[in-house]
Amino acid sequence: MDYQGVLEEIARDVAPLIGSGEPAAYIPALADVDPKRFGMAVADLDGNVYGVGDWRTPFSAQSITKVFTLALVLAHGGDSVWEHVGREPSGNPFNSLVQLEYENGIPRNPFINAGALVVTDRLQTWTGDASSELLEFLRRESGNPELAFNAEVAGSESEHGDRNAALAHFMASYGNIANPVPALLDHYFWQCSIETSCADLALAARFLARHGLLADGSRLLTRSEAKQVNAVMLTCGTYDAAGEFAYRVGLPGKSGVGGGIVAVVPGQCTLCVWSPGLDERGNSVAGVAALDRFTTLTGLSVF
């Protein structure tokens, strides 16, 4: 497969869309990013990485980190996480509170904010330092020791974090959060603030294309768990747009409000695309279009 040629063709095809949508403004530190940025990378199973545009430029990973924390929690505690969080699409915005009371403080899935807070809480219980565990994992799997938290973004999220605080306190009232809420929120905000490039994320996500095997050949997840994470990405990874994303792209994917999206072709490769302009559901406009073009041009899809 000529990944480099495909990426260059995609970059030309989506150029008119770059700058469409709006960067996330509810986290003020994210609002300043140049909406005209676009990058895309593909990593194959051997760790070769191909890219186009701003594929080596760091951006705020945000909710893409939710995939990695879920994988780490499954690796530590196996199925026990599913006692605390479901795996059904929510059909609601990623920061919605509305289902939590009806469903007794058990969030619908690990990729909406409520579910990710539960998963980070589990990781905190397993490791004692959830955000550092995640950062070390991303550094190791991307091969980039420079990856770091962004203190300004984490601070901005904390300052404007009333909704996440409400979600965490509400779930704590149902006994579904084990750690003190302020400490949990800190780990969650640091987690979201990690700066990574498309190349870093495509490389770090390779265990999902390698059926659970890490870069050094050791096993993070069982084959079955890797399948499960990919399945939850497909059904829940782009929130209330997951149906449309599956229809257009046909791959497991996870977006973040920094404008990044990671996608997986199991057994073949991983992708990451970044462009900060978001649609009304919080997914990158040019990013979704680029992934749509990728599966159309290559025929690589799970369907």
Instruction: Name the residues that contact ligand DON, by CB under 6 A.
Output: 62-63, 94-95, 113, 157, 164, 192, 255-257, 282
For the chain, where are the alpha helices, taking DSSP H only?
3-14, 28-31, 65-77, 98-102, 113-127, 130-142, 151-159, 162-173, 181-192, 198-204, 206-209, 223-236, 242-248, 285-298
Q: Give the residue with the Cβ less far from ligand DON, 117 or 220.
A: 117
Nearest approach in angstroms of CB 282 to ligand DON is 4
Could you tell me which of 277, 141, 233, 123 has the C-alpha nearest to residue 196? 141
Q: Give the residue with the Cβ less far from ligand DON, 250 or 282.
A: 282
Nearest approach in angstroms of CB 87 to ligand DON is 18
Nearest approach in angstroms of CB 85 to ligand DON is 16
Enzyme catalytic residues: 63, 66, 188, 239, 257
Nearest approach in angstroms of CB 23 to ligand DON is 12
Q: Give the residue with the Cβ less far from ligand DON, 212 or 253.
A: 253
Which residues on adjacent β-strands are paired with residue 41?
51, 272
One-character DSSP codes across 100-146: HHHTTT--S-TTSHHHHHHHHHHHHHHHS-HHHHHHHHHHHHHT-TT
Reading phi first (left if > 0) and then psi (alpha if -120 to 50, else beta), residue 282 is in: left
Q: Give the residue with the Cβ less far from ligand DON, 18 or 257.
A: 257
Q: How many Cβ atoms from other residues are within 10 Å of residue 206's Cβ? A: 22
